[in-house]
Structure 1
Amino acid sequence: MGTFKIEGGHQLKGKIQPQGAKNEALQILCAVLLTPELVTINNIPDIVDVNKLISLLKKLGVKVEKLAKGSYTFKADNVDLDYLESDQFKIDGRGLRGSIMIVGPLLARFGRGYIPKPGGDKIGRRRLDTHFEGLIKLGAKFGYSKEEQFYGVEAKRLKGTYMLLEEASVTGTANILMAAVLAEGQTTIYNAACEPYLQQLCKMLNRMGAKISGVGSNMLIVDGVDSLGGTEHRMLPDMIEIGSWIGLAAMTKSELTITNVSWNDLGVIPATFRKLGITVERRGDDIHIPAHTDGYEIQSFIDGSILTISDAPWPGFTPDLLSIILVVATQARGSVLIHQKMFESRLFFVDKLIDMGAKIILCDPHRATVIGHDYKSTLKATTMTSPDIRAGVSLLIAALSAKGTSTIQNIEQIDRGYENIDERLRAIGAKIERID
């Protein structure tokens, strides 16, 4: 198990380039299974979760070639369907939540798709119902082995239909969409997720020959086609990483520039950080954060009541950044209520922050009230363990702002979502060391 040793309390300075988007990569990589032709993908992040999925594709028989850093070609012209029923697949598929999205493409192209119950973050229940209910409506026959926790869907040919999704699940929408593009007839997906990464998937599929309209809305209309061809695609920068660096700059009173952020795809993220009193400047396609030497003050609602920041499906605020917002609020002037609606275990990491001296009241599994210190009392160094990707980075940001030397264990969780994070932070002045 790896550990970060962090000497906190230092100001950082410089430029940092966000990696390619993790959540987009997991969708886009699964889409290569839809065609036997060559697909080139650029700006792929070099992180554990993405590398696991690339390895899984290789074991499925997909030909993978690395062209340069972040650039790969994929050719799924000889897929090994027998691997899907092997004991090894039952092990490999469990190691990654995003592996669920191979089911839709496999079902659409080959008539069957299987997956063991996927793993991932320990942040509460993450149901697969939306995925399979959508595939069943397209005509798939569903099977589940409770003993092995193994899911399967089969169909000779999927048929288009109308469906209203119970929840605007991003991965669920992606899975259903990738199945529908090769279905017979027209499919309407209402209450579809419309995140920029889902829009990216739609644009890529359309370049491959799919017929998808309504891109960017919550109603996707898909006219099925007989086959798809190859294409080239480039990932967006990772909005979660961008938000993480905004929070890091504020907490460490640092002047940072985050380059090439694709401003038009950030939605309410800049405005949400501004509600905490953080100056977020747009310079071309960069974000500039000046050093907040005088601190930052949380806004109130118009009637003077305490600010509440909560997560919501796009274009609402992404749940992946609520833990960053919570940490940043610990040194603000004022108070804020953080409401994590989607996952009931994601706020449990606040006990580590309380140990560091933060003033946080955990109201229930979904809500926490933060009373900011206004830098009058800095966080204190401690030893902690990363419970999941986003909480891990939040604790890392807290440690970089704290007085003294902290250690964070189980950093493999952070590596799942952030590329070479220690090297990149050292480049802007952070005192961080990786210990195996």
Structure 2
Amino acid sequence: MASFRVKGGQRLKGEIQPQGAKNEALQIISAVLLTAEPVHIKKIPDIRDVNKLIELLADFGVQIEKTGPESYIFTAKDVNLDFLESDQFKEKAASLRGSIMILGPLLARFGKGKIPKPGGDKIGRRRLDTHFIGFQKLGAKFDYHIGTGFYNVSAKELTGTYLHLDEASVTGTANIIMAASMAKGTTTVYNAACEPYIQQLCKMINRMGGKISGIGSNLLVIEGVESLGGTEHTMLPDMIEIGSFIGLAAMTQSEITIKDARIDQLGIIPDTFRRLGINLEFRGDDIFIPAQEHYVIDSFIDGSILTIADAIWPGFTPDLISIILVTATQARGTVLVHQKMFESRLFFVDKLIDMGAQIILCDPHRATVIGLDRAFPLRSIQMTSPDIRAGVSLLIAALSAEGTSTIHNVEQIDRGYQYIEKRLNAIGAQIERF
């Protein structure tokens, strides 16, 4: 198990380039299974979850050519479906939650697919019903074998239908889009997720010869086609990394420029951080965060305490709730942080409390943060990263704290952030991996 030794109290300064979007990458890389032709994907982040998915595709027989540090060509001409029956597949697929994304393209192109119960962050219940209900309504047969732990789907032919999703699941929407892209007839998906990552997937499939309309809305219309071809695709910068760097700059009183941020795709993320009192300046497509001695939390217009809650897009992404919470600990003022989607995502706040933060955990979903306004800096402790986003939140806290902190199980951070200590050390951080 790897750990970070973090010397706090260092002011950072410089430019940092966000990686390609992790959540988009898992969808886009899975979509190469839809075609036998080459698909060239650029800006792929070099992180554990994405690399595991690439290894899984290679095990299926997908030809993979690395054309640059962040670029690959995938050719899924000869896909070995027998690999689905192997112990190696069960072991690898179970260790990666993103493996669920291969079901839609396998079902669309080959008429069958299976997956063991996938892993991922331990942040509460993350049900898969939306995926399988969608497949069933398209005409697939679904069953779950308790003995083997496998979810199985199969269909001689998928047929377009009307779907009103029970929840606007991002991965569920993506899986249904991929399955419906080659179904017979037209599929209408209402209450679809409409995140930029979903928009990117739809645009990519259309370049491959698909026919998807309503992109960017929660009502998608997918006209099935007989086959899809190759294409090129470039990932968006990771909006979660961008939000993490904004919070980092504020907590460490640092002057940081986030390069090539695709501000047009960030939704309300910049304005949400502004409500914590953080100054942001857009310079072309870069975000400049000046060093701030103090930042003051806004309130509602009637003077009541500000609440920041996650919501489906275009609301505030749940993956940044942990970052908002830790950033608020050194602000002036009070904020109620409401994590609606996952009941275990706030359970890392005990570590922040040990560091001296003033946080009241109201229940599994809500925490009230009373900002210290830097009157009492956080103190260094030893801690363990429970999941990707909490891990980075703890890293931000450690970078702002007095003394040297130790963070264990940083493989969780590696799942979502590439070369994080090298990139932060390049702008003045002091992080040692051991």
Normalising by structure 1, we get a TM-score of 0.99
Normalising by structure 2, we get a TM-score of 1.00
Equivalent residue of 1:408, what SS? strand
Per-residue deviation, residues 266-320 of structure 1 (Å, max 9, x unmatched): 0000000000000011000000000002x10000000010000000000000000
Structure 1 partner of 2:24: 24
Structure 2 counterpart of 1:379, one-letter code: L
Structure 1 partner of 2:91: 91
> Does residue 211 of structure 1 match 2:211?
yes
Structure 2 partner of 1:419: 418
Per-residue deviation, residues 361-397 of structure 1 (Å, max 9, x unmatched): 0000000000000000000000000000000000000
Structure 2 partner of 1:389: 388
> Does residue 404 of structure 1 match 2:403?
yes
Structure 2 partner of 1:56: 56
Q: Structure 2: how far apart are the matches of 1:149 and 1:124?
A: 19
Q: Superposition pairs for residues 132-211 of structure 1, below 5 Å?
A: 132-211=132-211
Structure 1 partner of 2:342: 343
Q: 1:209: how far off? A: 0.2
Equivalent residue of 2:107, what SS? helix
Q: Structure 1: how far apart are the matches of 2:50 and 2:273?
A: 28
Q: Structure 1: how far apart are the matches of 2:60 and 2:281?
A: 45
Q: 1:86: how far off? A: 1.4
Q: Structure 1: how far apart are the matches of 2:421 and 2:347?
A: 25
Structure 2 partner of 1:299: 298
Q: Structure 2: how far apart are the matches of 1:70 and 1:88?
A: 27
Equivalent residue of 2:114, what SS? strand
Q: 1:348: how far off? A: 0.2
Q: Structure 1: how far apart are the matches of 2:395 and 2:34?
A: 39
Q: Structure 2: how far apart are the matches of 1:114 and 1:376?
A: 55
Q: Structure 2: how far apart are the matches of 1:228 and 1:68?
A: 25
Per-residue deviation, residues 306-335 of structure 1 (Å, max 9, x unmatched): 000000000000000000000000000000
Structure 2 counterpart of 1:422, one-letter code: E
How much identity, in percent, do the aligned residues show? 72
Q: Structure 2: how far apart are the matches of 1:198 and 1:94?
A: 24
Q: Structure 2: how far apart are the matches of 1:17 and 1:421?
A: 11
Uncovered stretches (5+) of structure 1, i.e. residues with no partner: none
Per-residue deviation, residues 27-72 of structure 1 (Å, max 9, x unmatched): 0000000000000000000000000000000001100010010000
Per-residue deviation, residues 168-192 of structure 1 (Å, max 9, x unmatched): 0000000000000000000000000
Structure 1 partner of 2:128: 128
Q: Structure 1: how far apart are the matches of 2:135 and 2:355?
A: 47
Q: Structure 1: how far apart are the matches of 2:281 and 2:325?
A: 21
Q: Structure 2: how far apart are the matches of 1:258 and 1:163?
A: 39
Structure 1 counterpart of 2:55, one-letter code: S
Structure 1 residue runs of 4 or more that deviate by more than 3 Å after TM superposition: none
Q: 1:147: how far off? A: 2.1
Equivalent residue of 1:327, what SS? helix
Equivalent residue of 1:362, what SS? strand
Equivalent residue of 1:369, what SS? strand
Q: Structure 1: how far apart are the matches of 2:248 and 2:333?
A: 19
Q: Structure 2: how far apart are the matches of 1:288 and 1:396?
A: 21
Structure 1 partner of 2:376: 377
Q: Superposition pairs for residues 98-117 of structure 1, below 5 Å?
A: 98-117=98-117
Structure 2 partner of 1:433: 432
Which moves more between the two structures, 160-169 or 88-97? 88-97
Structure 1 partner of 2:14: 14
Q: 1:87: how far off? A: 1.6
Structure 2 counterpart of 1:177, one-letter code: I
Equivalent residue of 1:57, what SS? helix
Q: 1:85: how far off? A: 1.5
Equivalent residue of 2:148, what SS? coil
Residues paired across the two proteins, number: 434
Equivalent residue of 1:65, what SS? strand
Q: Structure 2: how far apart are the matches of 1:388 and 1:421?
A: 15
Structure 2 counterpart of 1:239, one-letter code: M
Structure 2 partner of 1:262: 262
Q: Structure 2: how far apart are the matches of 1:115 and 1:57?
A: 14
Equivalent residue of 1:188, what SS? strand
Q: Structure 1: how far apart are the matches of 2:421 and 2:263?
A: 25
Q: 1:359: how far off? A: 0.2
Structure 1 counterpart of 2:433, one-letter code: R
